Amino acid sequence: MMILIMSMVWQYGVAQDDENGSQNSLFYYSGTIGEVQKVEFNLQVTGLVITGSYILEKTGDLFLFNGRMNAEKSDMGIRIYNQNNVYIASMEASLFSDTDNFAKTIKGIWRSADLKEEFDVGLTKQAELAVVIEDEVINEAG
């Protein structure tokens, strides 16, 4: 008889695993761009690299983005692209964290690529996907 025992380590977010620099986490936010444009925002963090997408609730328009955080993981800058991969805007924002709650809120400025439009951004974290790492597998024959 073979017994398979798997030990799993659950890690929640970047703030809990900053030491190794290899943390890969997914975050889900809701909030606004401007006063009335509601958005659903998905953010993936790998080290200091940020990728993700957001959707405008009213129209269903989808936008993709990529960018970076500063070394302290307290500020970020992203470039935003439409569904045709055309650069349409940028966003600079601050990440507000608690000791055990990385980037619980994000506040910043969204700017159109032509710099003619600028809107405040406010996002609140709704969910965080835990990263599961397989620690060890033990096989025993009996």
Is 121 domain-assigned?
yes
CATH at residue 28: 2.40.160.90
**How many structural domains compose the chain?**
1
Domain assignment present for 140: no
Distance CA 99, CA 122 (A): 21
Residue 33 placed within a domain? yes
Question: Which residues pair with residue 131 across a beta bridge?
Answer: 11
Distance set, CA 70 to CA 19, 36, 90, 92, 114 (Å): 15, 29, 16, 11, 25
Which tens digit of pLDDT belongs to each residue from 21-67?
A: 335 689 999 999 999 999 999 999 999 999 999 999 999 999 999 99
Distance between CA atoms of residues 49 and 66, nearest Å: 8
Which residues sit opposite 11 in a β-bridge?
131
Residue range 101-131, pLDDT digits in tens:
889 999 999 999 999 999 999 999 999 886 6
Within-domain flag for 102 = yes
Any domain includes 5: no
DSSP lists the bridge partners of residue 25 as 45
Q: What is the DSSP string of 22-57?
A: --EEEEEEEEEETTTEEEEEEEEEETTEEEEEEEET
> Does residue 13 belong to any structural domain of this protein?
no
Query: Containing domain of residue 118, as a range?
Result: 21-131
Any domain includes 14: no
- Whether 79 contacts 64, CB under 8 Å: no
Q: Is there a domain that residue 9 lies in? A: no
